[in-house]
Structure 1
Amino acid sequence: MYKKPEKKPCGFGRIKPGGPPALRLAIPAGLVIATVIGIVLQSAPIFPHNTMNAWLRALLIGVCVTPASIALVWAVVVDRSTVPGAIPSPEHSVEFTWYDQAAKDSFHLLLAGTGLGAALASFWLPPMVSWTLIAVFAFAALAFAVSYLIHRES
């Protein structure tokens, strides 16, 4: 009796169980995204014109962002259950606990450092430095407040 051969395991996961490999979609989509980013950034007014061929600049930018674009598409489309060695619930792992604690500690250090830095910079450095630190502090505090309110409502 003929038995249908099972699909060989895919080292980088699949789009869904039994589906095509995730890299089969991630690579072309990532290349398209990198190309678009390269073209958009090369045409932005941030670069002085006539210093380099525009197509060469777009190509170089695209090459630089290609790995990140492919990885981003892969992370969006891959089914976690098809990745060999992936744990079923990473939010319950010890590494997640370490990461969570490090994020909390770094946030509190950011607030303390920017607050103290802004106070000290106002005495000894140009005013722009203290205003920059105040802006970073305000952004971090606002991000925390919004996150807190969102989590409180959910």
Structure 2
Amino acid sequence: MYKKPEKKSCGFGRIKPGGTPALWLAIPVGLVAAAVIGIALQSAPIFPHNTMNAWLRALLIGACVAPASIALVWTVVVDRSTIPGALPHPEHSVECTWYDQAAKDSFHLLLAGTGLGAALTSFWLPPMVSWTLIAVFAFAALVFAVSYLVRRES
């Protein structure tokens, strides 16, 4: 009896089960995105003109952005179930618990540090330092309040 050979496993996952490898789509789309970003940034007015060939600058920017853009496209198109060794529910892993706890701890320390720092620097340092710390504290508190309200409503 003839048995159809199974597709070779793909270490970086596939677009869908039995589909093409995700990197086959991620690499060309990521390179095109990197080229577009490189061309857009080289034409931005932040660079002094006539210091370097514009195409060389666009190529260098694109080369720097290419790995991140390929990884981003891969993240969007890959099907997690096709990645060997991937957990079916990573949000229930111990690492996710550690991350959540570290985020909570760092947020509370940020609030305590900026509040205490703003109070102490108002006595000994220029006012700009304490205003900066007050702004960081207010921003963190505002982001927390908005996040809390959004989660309460959902």
> Common fold, TM-score beyond 0.5?
yes
Q: How does 1:30-109 map to 2 (within 5 A)?
A: 30-109=30-109
Given the superposition, is the C-alpha separation of residues 47 and 135 from structure 1 closer, same or farther in structure 2, using an over 3 Å criterion?
A: farther
Given the superposition, is the C-alpha separation of residues 116 and 54 from structure 1 closer, same or farther in structure 2, using an over 3 Å criterion?
A: farther
The range that moved more, 96-105 or 129-138, is 129-138
2:27 corresponds in structure 1 to 27
1:70 shift after superposition: 0.7
1:108 shift after superposition: 1.1
Given the superposition, is the C-alpha separation of residues 131 and 59 from structure 1 closer, same or farther in structure 2, using an over 3 Å criterion?
A: farther
Task: For 2:54 and 2:124, locate their aligned partners in 1 and report how far apart those are by CA, in whole Å.
Answer: 44
Amino acid at match of 1:128: M
Q: TM-score, normalised by structure 2?
A: 0.91
Q: Flag as ranges the 4+ runs of structure 1 deviating above 6 A.
A: none
DSSP-derived class of the 1:2 partner: coil
Task: For 1:123 and 1:114, locate their aligned partners in 2 and report how far apart those are by CA, in whole Å.
Answer: 15
Task: For 2:61 and 2:27, locate their aligned partners in 1 and report how far apart those are by CA, in whole Å.
Answer: 17
The range that moved more, 2-11 or 128-137, is 128-137
Amino acid at match of 2:60: L
Give identity over the alignment, percent: 88
Q: How many residues align?
A: 154
Listed as ranges, the gaps of 5+ residues in structure 1 are: none
Listed as ranges, the gaps of 5+ residues in structure 2 are: none
Please tell me the root mean square deviation across aligned C-alpha atoms, in Å: 1.6
